[in-house]
């Protein structure tokens, strides 16, 4: 076969001998021109999405099916690495352009906080990132509970990713800040918390939830002096680690890009839900709980003790409600910052809005 080039990417066949004279005794399904670089060009479309699981064995199968030739596992592996390098660049390049990426992230997203720490040899040590919209939303609308966790990265140089999440009114994950470091140590956690404090500022009644393996009595909400809003575990932080399980294999700049894309997606979806919301409280949690408690409260008897205190008889566990101190003897009101069934019964008795007793 002879061909001539037309333009940059096209060729025209000028001569083709259709009769093959190869000795059939030496026919092979291998092809010397099926190089790793050539195979890599056919893989880019499948590997663009980091969630795609495309192993060297899959590549060997597809090359055999599509091109009729056999390649070794090592060549399939190399082709995959070349394709990923072409799509994402090298891990080293990602760290090199990280400062410029953070600069643009701050410039395009007002209020965003990023910080990069390097050692005396200018080698990467830590990264902190909190998007401005996340900070403003937490300061203005979120409950002061933050769950923190760390998870391993799976790119070339490994490391760990630190995550700080809050929770919105529907009990959805609200990503607040992210960090990247070499190891999960006291020093790295101290640096992350220092930067988190600088980003969100002073936050009264703030509660941090982590996995420091305290005794069982520490996990009981009845022993918690502060307001946990019934948040008892850090599973929310672990959930976002699961969402980013494929992104954690990417070079650092692409990992940050995936995080930002996830934030944009979630914030857009939740903004549209908020625009269409017709309830006073968030429908999937606060409103739903209050309506269920309203049904229970309808069957309770309320006895006035004085102008501030009321005894509620529910046939199971009675409650003494103190409206002045916003408390109930069942403790649910204080712990959830949402009216318990006893408080709802008192509101019905007094003909006042139950929403007024929900925490802002």
* Alpha-helix residue ranges (DSSP H) falling in the chain: 36-41, 44-47, 56-67, 73-88, 91-96, 98-108, 132-141, 186-200, 216-219, 235-243, 252-275, 288-297, 332-336, 341-350
Q: Using CA atoms of 19, 24, 30, 33 in order, give the dihedral in degrees to the nearest 10.
A: -30
Instruction: Give the pLDDT band (50/70/90) at residue 70.
Output: confident
Q: What angle do CA 259, 262, 263 make, to 5 degrees?
A: 90
Backbone angles phi, psi at 351, to 5 degrees: 60, 45
pLDDT at residue 30 greater than cutoff 70: no
Q: What is the pLDDT of residue 29?
A: 54
Q: Is residue 342 packed enough to be buried (19+ CB in 10 Å), middle (13-18) or exposed (0-12)?
A: buried
Q: Measuring CA to CA, which residue among 43, 69, 45 is closest to residue 56?
A: 43
Residue 76: count other Cβ atoms within 10 Å of its Cβ: 24
Size of the chain in residues: 360
Instruction: Give the pLDDT band (50/70/90) at residue 360.
Output: low
Which of helix, strand or coil describes residue 120?
coil
* 140-197 pLDDT, tens digit each: 888 888 999 899 998 888 899 999 999 888 888 899 999 999 999 999 999 999 999 9
Q: What is the pLDDT of residue 228?
A: 47
Give the residues across from 118 on adjacent strands. Answer: 124
Q: Measuring CA to CA, which residue among 337, 335, 342 is closest to residue 356?
A: 337
- For the chain, give every domain's residue range: 2-88, 93-275, 283-357
* 280-292 pLDDT, tens digit each: 888 777 888 888 8
Contact 167, 175 (CB under 8 A): no
């Amino acid at each position: 076969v002879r061909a001539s080039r037309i333009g940059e990417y096209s060729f025209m066949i000028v001569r083709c001998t259709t009769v093959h004279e190869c000795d059939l005794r030496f026919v092979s399904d291998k092809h010397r021109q099926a190089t790793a670089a050539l195979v890599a060009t056919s893989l880019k479309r499948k590997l663009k999405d980091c969630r795609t699981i495309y192993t060297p064995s899959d590549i060997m199968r597809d090359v055999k099916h599509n091109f009729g030739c056999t390649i070794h596992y090592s060549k399939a592996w190399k082709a995959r690495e070349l394709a990923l390098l072409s799509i994402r660049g090298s891990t080293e390049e990602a760290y090199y352009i990280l400062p410029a990426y953070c600069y643009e992230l701050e410039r395009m997203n007002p209020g965003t906080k990023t910080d990069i720490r390097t050692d005396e040899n200018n080698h990467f040590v830590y990264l902190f990132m909190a998007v401005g919209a996340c900070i403003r939303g937490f300061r203005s609308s979120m409950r002061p509970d933050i769950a923190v966790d760390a998870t391993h990265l799976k790119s070339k140089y490994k490391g760990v990713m630190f995550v700080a999440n809050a929770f919105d009114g529907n009990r959805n994950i609200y990503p607040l800040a992210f960090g990247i470091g070499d190891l999960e140590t006291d020093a790295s956690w101290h640096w992350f918390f220092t930067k988190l404090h600088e980003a969100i500022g002073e936050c009264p009644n703030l509660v941090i939830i982590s996995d420091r393996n305290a005794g069982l009595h520490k996990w009981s909400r009845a022993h918690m002096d502060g307001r946990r809003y019934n948040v008892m575990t850090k599973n929310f932080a672990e959930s976002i680690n699961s969402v980013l399980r494929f992104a954690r294999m990417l070079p650092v700049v692409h990992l940050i890009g995936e995080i930002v894309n996830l934030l944009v997606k979630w914030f857009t979806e939740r903004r549209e839900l908020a625009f269409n919301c017709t309830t006073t409280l968030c429908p999937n949690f606060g409103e739903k709980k209050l309506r269920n408690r309203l049904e229970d409260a309808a069957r309770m008897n309320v006895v006035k003790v004085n102008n501030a205190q009321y005894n509620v008889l529910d046939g199971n566990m009675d409650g003494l409600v103190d409206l002045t101190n916003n408390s109930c003897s069942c403790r649910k009101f204080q712990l959830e910052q949402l009216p318990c069934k006893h408080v709802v019964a008192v509101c019905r008795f007094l003909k006042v809005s139950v929403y007024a007793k929900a925490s802002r």
